[in-house]
Amino acid sequence: MPLASGSVLSQDRRNCQREPGGGRWVVNGETQKLKAPNQPLMAASHRQGQGVAQARSCPFPSLSSSTTSSQPKHQETTAKMKMDNYKAGLRARFKMDPETVANGSRLTNWDLEPIDEERRNWNWKTYASYWISESWSVTQFTIGAQMVVSGLLWWHALIACAVAHLFGAAFAVFNCRSGAAYHIAFPVAVRACFGVYGGLWPVFSRSVLDLVWYGIQCTFGGTFIDVAFVAIFGDAWKNIPNALPASASITTRGMTAFFLYWVLQSWTTFYRPNEMKWMYYAKSVLMPINMFGLFICAMIRSGGPGDFQLTEFAASRAALAWAMLAAVNSALNGNFGPLVASGQDITRFARSRRDATIGQAISAPWSATVVVALGLITAACSRKIYGEAYWSPALLLEAIMEENFSGATRFACLVSAVVYIFGNVCTNYIANIVPFGSDATALWPRRINYIRATVICAAVGGWLMVPWKVSVDGAAFVNAVVGMGIFVATLIGVMLSDYYVIRKGNYFIEDLYSTDPKGRYYYTKGFNLRAYAAYVVGVAIQFPGFLGTLGVTSLAAPLEPPQQIYTLGYLLAFATAFVVYTAICLVFPDAAMKEAGAMKFEELSSVGGDSGHIDIDASKEKNMAEV
């Protein structure tokens, strides 16, 4: 079957093929050397009027590479020259890819196209480090708090988290595979099941969550800036006069700390994930050392956690069972849910499917559970020392300095706070900035590239969302955001059913970027009604209970059953959507589903995925399409 005529991928690049082995391209019969990633576009590689298409490498220069080659080498080493080059590279990254602007694309730009081989630099060690670094976070350290405060014993909370993390790891490994096989981002992958236009709703809804959580993570980071300044300046920092009204829900001291953290976080918006993998290697080492250090100090100072009775639980077995299910749901929504939904945005940089699968399987199932255990034990130790359980590392560090403000203690707390700041920057980048960068780019690809999108995330999520008020006064709003995990779970259920059961892992990549009504993913006016039917059913069964958590009891009147159904939350929403979508597609399949389902599992990925080729022929003979 020929490629869809309405494809918005460049028609020029269809005359370009990579030689076997990669590294060189044949353009209209001429051999071209493929440029290294992140190098500036070379005018000589595109000859106007001669029909020579440029190889689709990175159109944005590296911030660290020289963008001016006319100066003598000895001048290029000067600080001024390096700064000029950095500024030029930064400006270039904000510019839209000229080819995208010329084509007027509604579905793609350079950031949304499948990742080229040169940028696939994440191996299994990178993915193992990624999950370790994301698990060793402040959020995971404190997640046991809400469970224990709600009445569970410490070991109840630990079991609930362990179960949730096993489910979350499985969801992550399976959902991320399409990104590793075809090197496409989430906004592109979701088009296969929801349609080229229908996929915009899941993308938009995820982008809103990204903005909210970006701001909340910035407030977390601001608390550690505050701790670091207390360690450095002591009373001079603590006694800063407050010039803000009570209605602001933040003090001058808190706002200053928040602003400084926001500035620190903002530098990450200028880099793409393939350039930032060093952060996860560093964090996967520094954060475990830091958290174990705080844990050991608490153990030595307290002489052990004692009886571990952080709370009393005197409820019936039935109440305990429902509380445990609620805890599992909370743990899934709290950390794994957003990361599972962001999977393709990370695994698209994988060298191979094997790297992504092995790396995640090694570290995802257990690493977060270890952190929860450390948080529970450390809280028990702090209760024994101070008479109050400190769940937040920031509060515990402040308590340590209140008790002993010696130079050695202040220095140790400063180092710990700096590591937490770095760790939070990493978490916010990969969990919120990267997904929003993909989402906003997909919503308006003609005008927004990845760098523009991430800067928007920093501005809107950091300030327009007023996250300091949300964290202090917006309990209902936070409940709503957390409860929206049912929407994410429903989405994941549809995507996994579509990829593994209906299509057997076969994506026709060219059609994911096509607005041609004959395209395989155009469905009905660009919307796959089967996917939306499953999505609505999965959400509807949870919605009354969701409203009940927001206080809208009039619509969740026989509140007990809806609330208990909502307690099943993430898992029930996922299972419902998976089953409903599978049933509908098996009974009412379209031609493209039958075509993909008749192939071997991931048969097309050998052409459009690990091989490195962007466009694929629709025929079963798997002929390589012209790029």
| Residue 227: band (very low, low, confident or very high) from pLDDT cuts 50, 70, 90 | very high
Phi, psi for 25 (deg, rounded to 5) = -120, 145
Residues 560 and 473: beta-carbon distance below 8 Å: no
C-alpha to C-alpha distance for 294 and 136, rounded to whole angstroms: 13
Q: Is residue 3 part of a domain?
A: no
- Residue-wise pLDDT tens digits, 169-209: 999 999 999 999 999 999 999 999 999 999 999 999 999 98
Segment 240-250 mean pLDDT:
93
Name which residue leads in pLDDT, 401 or 621: 401
Kindly state whether residues 534 and 469 are assigned to the same domain: yes
* Predicted local confidence at residue 622, as pLDDT: 41
pLDDT averaged over every residue in the chain: 82
Instruction: Return the SS3 of 24.
Output: strand
2 lies in some domain? no
Helix axes 485-496, 200-233, angle to 10 degrees: 130
Higher-confidence position of 591 and 61: 591
- At residue 594, the pLDDT reads 96
pLDDT tens, position by position, 104-140: 678 999 999 999 999 999 999 999 999 999 899 998 8
Residue in 147, 466, 561, 461 with CA at minimum distance from that of residue 334: 147
Query: What pLDDT was estimated at residue 18?
Result: 40
**Neighbour-count burial of 575, counting CB atoms closer than 10 A to its CB (0-12 exposed, 13-18 middle, 19+ buried):** middle
- Calpha distance 603→114 (Å, rounded): 17
Q: Tell me the mean pLDDT in the region 248-267.
A: 96
Asked whether residue 486 is assigned to any structural domain, the reply reads yes
pLDDT of residue 211 exceeding 60, the answer is: yes
Whether the predicted pLDDT of 229 surpasses 80: yes
Q: What is the CA radius of gyration of the chain?
A: 26
Same domain, 458 and 484: yes
Q: What is the rounded average pLDDT of the residues 328-344?
A: 80
In eight-state DSSP terms, residue 114 is P
Task: Give domain status of residue 63, yes or no.
Answer: yes
Same domain, 36 and 178: no
Is residue 555 predicted with pLDDT exceeding 50? no
pTM score: 0.83
Residues 89 and 125 in one domain: no
Residue (of 34, 401, 111) closest to 237 by Cα position: 401
- Does residue 54 carry a pLDDT above 70? no
Q: What does DSSP say about strands 30-33 and 16-18: parallel, antiparallel, or unpaired? A: unpaired
10 Å Cβ neighbour count for 601? 10
User: How far is residue 308's CA from residue 586's CA, in Å, rounded to a whole number?
Assistant: 52
Residue 455 in any domain: the answer is yes
What is the domain extent for residue 37? 12-103
| CA-to-CA separations, 449 to 207, 269, 329, 406, in angstroms, rounded | 15, 12, 35, 49
* Cβ contacts of 447 within 8 Å, gap of 6 or more: 96
Q: Answer whether residue 619 is part of any domain.
A: no
Q: Give the pLDDT score at 90.
A: 77
Average pLDDT over residues 545-551: 70
Who contacts 493 (Cβ-Cβ below 8 Å, separation ≥6)? 534, 538, 573, 574, 575, 576, 577, 578, 581
Judge if 124 and 96 occupy the same domain: no
- Mean pLDDT in residue range 558-580: 79
Q: What is the pLDDT of residues 410-462, one digit of tens each?
A: 999 999 999 999 999 999 999 999 999 999 999 999 999 999 999 999 999 99
Q: Is residue 35 part of a domain?
A: yes
Task: Assign residue 532 the CATH number of its domain.
Answer: 1.10.4160.10
User: Which of 73, 103, 133 marks a domain boundary?
Assistant: 103
Evaluate if residue 32 carries a pLDDT over 80.
Answer: no
Domain match, 41 and 137 both: no
**Whether residues 308 and 414 fall in one domain:** yes
Q: Cβ–Cβ contacts within 10 Å for residue 199, how many? A: 26
Who has greater pLDDT, 598 or 73? 598
Tell whether 425 and 282 lie within a shared domain.
yes
Please tell me whether residues 77 and 125 are part of one structural domain: no
pLDDT, tens only, 6-16: 444 444 433 44
Query: Would you state the pLDDT for residue 126?
Result: 95
Q: What is the DSSP letter of 96?
A: P
User: Is there a contact between 8 and 102 (Cβ–Cβ < 8 Å)?
Assistant: no
SS3 17: strand
Number of H helices, E strands in the chain: 29, 3
- Do 128 and 22 lie in one domain? The reply is no
Residue 471: per-residue pLDDT? 73
The CA distance from 335 to 448, in Å, is: 28
pLDDT score at 333: 76
Q: Looking at residue 13, what is its pLDDT?
A: 38
Q: What 3-state class would DSSP assign to 351?
A: coil
Q: How many folded domains does the chain comprise? A: 2
Query: So what's the pLDDT on residue 474?
Result: 56
Residue 85: its pLDDT value, please?
76
Residue 82 confidence (pLDDT): 73
Strand partners, 514: 7
- Averaged over 477-482, what is the pLDDT? 66
Sheet holding 24-27, edge to edge: 16-18, 24-27, 30-33
Q: Is the pLDDT of residue 404 over 70?
A: yes
Q: Which two tokens stand for residue 137?
A: 């976070």
Residues 372 and 397 occupy one common structural domain:
yes
* The domain boundary residue, chosen from 103, 138, 156: 103
Per-residue model confidence as pLDDT tens digits over 141-180? 988 876 787 678 888 889 999 999 999 999 999 999 999 9
C-alpha count within 13 angstroms, C-beta hemisphere, residue 489? 31
Q: Residues 41-49: contacts with CB within 8 Å, 24+ apart?
A: none
Of the residues 57, 80, 103, the one at which a domain ends: 103
Structure tokens at 503: 């299509």
- What's residue 550's pLDDT? 66
Structure confidence at residue 23 (pLDDT):
38
5 pLDDT more than 80: no
- Tell whether 71 and 177 lie within a shared domain: no
DSSP string across 501-532: IISTT---GGGGGB--TTSTT-TBTTB-HHHH
Evaluate whether 488 touches 341 at the Cβ level (below 8 Å): yes
**What tens digit of pLDDT does each residue of 286-320 get?**
999 999 999 999 999 998 877 666 565 556 777 78
Does the residue 615 lie in any domain?
no
